[in-house]
Amino acid sequence: MQVHTILEENMISIVSNKSLTKSCWKIAELGCSSEPNSLMSISNILNIINKTSLKLNNGISPVFQIYLNDLFENDFNTIFKLLPDFYQQKKGENVEECFIGATPGNFYGRLFSNNYIDFFHSSYSLHWLSQGLVEEAKLDLFNLPVYHPTIEEVKQVIEAEASFTLQTLNTFKIGCDANLQDDIVDYVEDSKMRGEFIAKYHRAVYEPLLIAGFGENIMDELFSRFAKLIAQLIEIETLEFTNIVLFMTKNP
């Protein structure tokens, strides 16, 4: 809810400044994955832009071109199967024209031409994982390319790079198993189930990196042990992570 509020406030500001001259909005979702909720953020963004544009442009709805991005290995076909229902839903919400395509690749490199995309969206979760069952030499050589910055570090990087102006920066905490009740019918508070749930979404993020470093054979046992460790830890402390939510506009 906090993220949605921040998104809505800032998107309304942007649309209000550009709506009269903008007939087609190009939006990129970075790290879309292939889960059923992959289109949730895009849906919210479309609704906000469309609603604001209709008010400002005498009932004229803009056109949307959406680019879903993730690594080449991502299962984009799973998302594409959701599109007919998604398009039908958007028509019911007065979004007249929406076109969605995939842009596979690593967003640390170039994905689009200069000044092509109007709005980028990306969300992420805490990255951490226990390991086992591996040779010590391989473990010593393995490097997980993850760094968790402080708020001040984030501000400093944005200001030093100078391409963007930071409009909003907020933080909020969320339980590591916060979405479990939404995914499980007849949910019962159970540490084993919670541990398995947390291990599952960490596996979705880290498995390709771990396979490259240690091979595929140990993955099932590795994440099984990880789930058990998390289940034990949940019994004695609250597991949660801190999200940094920021909204930036590109400088002229």
List the chain domain ranges.
1-123, 124-252
Q: For each of the chain's 252 residues, which pLDDT tens digit applies?
A: 567 787 788 888 888 777 656 688 999 998 888 877 789 889 989 998 998 888 887 778 889 999 999 888 889 999 999 999 999 999 888 888 999 999 998 877 889 999 899 999 887 533 333 467 667 677 777 777 777 888 899 899 999 999 999 998 888 888 877 766 655 555 556 788 888 888 888 898 889 888 988 888 889 998 999 898 888 888 888 888 888 888 999 998
Task: Provide the CA 188 distance to its chain's centre, in angstroms.
Answer: 27
Return the pLDDT at 183: 55
Return the pLDDT at 139: 72
Do 31 and 69 contact (CB within 8 A), yes or no?
yes
**Calpha distance 32→1 (Å, rounded):** 19
**Calpha distance 41→43 (Å, rounded):** 5
Return the pLDDT at 186: 55
Return the pLDDT at 29: 92
Return the pLDDT at 22: 67
Do 130 and 229 contact (CB within 8 A), yes or no?
yes
Number of H helices and E strands in the chain, helices first, is 9, 6
**Cβ neighbour number for residue 182 with a 10 Å cutoff:** 8
Superfamily holding 1-123? Vaccinia Virus protein VP39 (3.40.50.150)
Return the pLDDT at 88: 93
Return the pLDDT at 128: 34
